[in-house]
Amino acid sequence: MKRVFIIVLDSLGIGEEPDAALFKDHDCNTLKRISYSGNFRFSSMKKMGMGNIDGVDYLQPEKRPLAAVARLQERSMGKDTTIGHWEIAGIVSPSPLPTYPDGFPDDIINEFEKKTGCGVLCNKPYSGTQVIADYGDEHLKTGKLIVYTSADSVFQIAAHTNKVPLEKLYEYCRAAREILKGKHAVGRVIARPFTGEHGSFTRTADRHDFSLLPPKETLLDALKAEGKTVYAIGKINDIFAGRGVTEHIMTHGNTEGMAAALGALDKDFEGLCFINLVDFDMLYGHRQDIDGYAAAFAEFDRWLPSFTAKMKKDDVLMITADHGCDPGDSHTDHSREYVPLIMYGNNIKPVNLGTRSGFCDIAATVSAYLHSGYRGDGESFLDDVLKPTDDEKKLCDAAFSAMANSYSPYSGYKVGAALLCSCGRIYTGCNIENAAFSPTVCAERTAVFKAVSEGIRDFKMLAVCGGKDGKISGIFPPCGVCRQVLSEFCDPDMPVLMMKSKKTFDRKKLKDLIPYSFSLGK
Ligand code: THU
């Protein structure tokens, strides 16, 4: 049973992206900023290898990290929660969600008034607590709805529960959602009910988000359609407007989110558990609270070993973020930053993947790991991080043994190949040279021809190694002729292991080695 747990540390960016200026950001680095706080703790995350990530040179690197790591650059033109999570789930958004620093245009407000039959107050960016203090009385007197926004792509409606029953407020939100389409497709319409008397209005816990539907199929949709579990913890369900989610728990804050994540480890399922820890952003990033942010990071760092200790053999954990929100930069808004990726599990090799373009590579990689058909906008890096399986180890041993039989008096290079067939048999081959040079046959073709001549044409994997004096020296990628021969019989997705030593290899797919093989108009 394969399970992937993605934990989003909401807003934990690791340094400005090259195009940060386009987003009015400079000198932002959320992780670096909090690392100077006395509350910062860097123990489990250090062991994972967070200090080895590109650009994280202000934290100690780890000699023997436990996890694969990468720095991910956002391909979407946005820096908000919705777009960030959509990209993690496979969708690149070419334009940001609309924001309204001067309030919503008249045509939107007029239509909203027509649909709801209520007038509108405020219509400006405003603090949520201040807006009810300033407009609460007038709202109660006139019945007009308090509409406001923020630096985020949100249309918020505040109403007193005595004046507008909760269900009615939700109905107004749905009406707004209907109107806010096309270029006015805001990320979220938010119901903001409040209670209390003049001078002491307070917001209730019945806030509800009406999110924009993802514009294309996400990893979540695909997994659900394939019958796998998609378990959402925290605001994930809202971010995807519930789409592609099979089960969800709404949590209040990081502590509850982390407890729910531990609870998810006890469940039996195949698929994805997608967790958002919101406090980093909501309580500390926006409020420019560096020490609070650092303390929340320390709490996570302290908690992490309790999670990894409970992980099962085929579980994979991915820790990442959706954007930055530097608590020490010049504004309270999000920041356009790279995000970290830490990928840990029994099946995962601790490699450093450098800097990759696209959070969406996460979706492609999870999809490949869970054998889903989902592709999305990203590229899988699974082949770079997966530890050798038992089949792969066996095949590498066979290729290495076959190398010894090489007949190569002219070049001196011994090459061995091993081909795993669907029936489980392994056919090996070596290079066989000839004094006339051109009759020479490569190791790969020897293996293929042996198998085909015995009636076997169904192949699952190939391993190749080569070198001089019986030792593997460098990789020996199959030559063009062998690639063409392999493409005649093998699936384009068939893994090809190009061995670097008896136990290590670069894992490629046949289609990566020969994307356009010759075919008779197939
Ligand atoms: N060789 C292979 O066995 N496989 C290949 O795909 C490329 C080359 C062998 C042929 C020759 O005996 C030696 O490597 C040096 O070219």
Shared domain check, 239 and 149: no
Shared domain check, 462 and 352: no
Whether the pLDDT of residue 4 is over 70: the answer is yes
**Ligand 1 center to residue 433 CA distance, Å?**
9
pLDDT at residue 274, rounded to an integer: 98
Return the CATH number at 22.
3.40.720.10
**Ligand 1 center to residue 486 CA distance, Å?**
15
Confidence grade of residue 205 (pLDDT, cut at 50, 70, 90): confident
Q: Which amino acid residue places its CA nearest to atom 13 of ligand 1?
A: 413
Pocket of ligand 1 (CB under 6 A): 408, 411, 413, 415, 431, 433, 440, 442-444, 478-479, 482
Residue finishing a domain among 181, 210, 239 = 210
Phi, psi of 239 (to 5 degrees): -60, -35
pLDDT at residue 522, rounded to an integer: 61
Domain count, the chain: 3
pLDDT at residue 494, rounded to an integer: 97
Q: What is the pLDDT of residues 136-195, one digit of tens each?
A: 999 999 999 999 999 889 999 999 999 999 999 999 999 999 999 999 999 999 999 999
Shared domain check, 459 and 347: no
Domain residues for the domain of 113 are 106-210
Return the CATH number at 505.
3.40.140.10
Shared domain check, 487 and 395: yes
**Ligand 1 center to residue 415 CA distance, Å?**
6
Which atom of ligand 1 lies nearest, measured to the CA of 411?
Answer: 15
Q: What is the pLDDT of residues 235-288, one digit of tens each?
A: 999 899 999 999 999 998 999 999 999 999 999 999 999 999 999 999 999 999
Shared domain check, 408 and 380: no
In three-state secondary structure terms, 189 is strand
pLDDT at residue 85, rounded to an integer: 98
**Residue 427 near residue 418 (C-beta atoms within 8 A):** yes
Shared domain check, 509 and 413: yes
Helix (H) or strand (E) holding 140: helix 128-142
Shared domain check, 459 and 399: yes
Q: How far apart are CA 75 and CA 355, in angstroms?
A: 13
Shared domain check, 298 and 233: yes
Q: Which amino acid residue places its CA nearest to atom 8 of ligand 1?
A: 442
Residue 519 lies in a domain: no
Residue 101 lies in a domain: no
Helix (H) or strand (E) holding 159: strand 154-160
Residue 98 lies in a domain: no
Q: How far apart are CA 61 and CA 145, in angstroms?
A: 53
**Residue 344 near residue 351 (C-beta atoms within 8 A):** no
Shared domain check, 259 and 117: no
Return the CATH number at 161.
3.30.70.1250
Residue finishing a domain among 355, 385, 415 = 385
Which atom of ligand 1 lies nearest, measured to the CA of 417?
Answer: 3
Q: Which amino acid residue places its CA nearest to atom 10 of ligand 1?
A: 442
Q: What is the pTM of this model?
A: 0.88
Shared domain check, 232 and 319: yes
Residue 97 lies in a domain: no
Q: How far apart are CA 114 and CA 105, in angstroms?
A: 15
pLDDT at residue 16, rounded to an integer: 97
Which atom of ligand 1 lies nearest, measured to the CA of 446?
Answer: 3
Which atom of ligand 1 lies nearest, measured to the CA of 430?
Answer: 3
Residue 346 lies in a domain: yes
Q: What is the pLDDT of residues 207-231, one digit of tens each?
A: 888 999 999 999 999 999 999 999 9
Residue 100 lies in a domain: no
Shared domain check, 491 and 421: yes
**Ligand 1 center to residue 494 CA distance, Å?**
21
Shared domain check, 196 and 224: no
Q: What is the pLDDT of residues 385-418, one digit of tens each?
A: 999 999 999 999 999 999 999 999 999 999 999 9
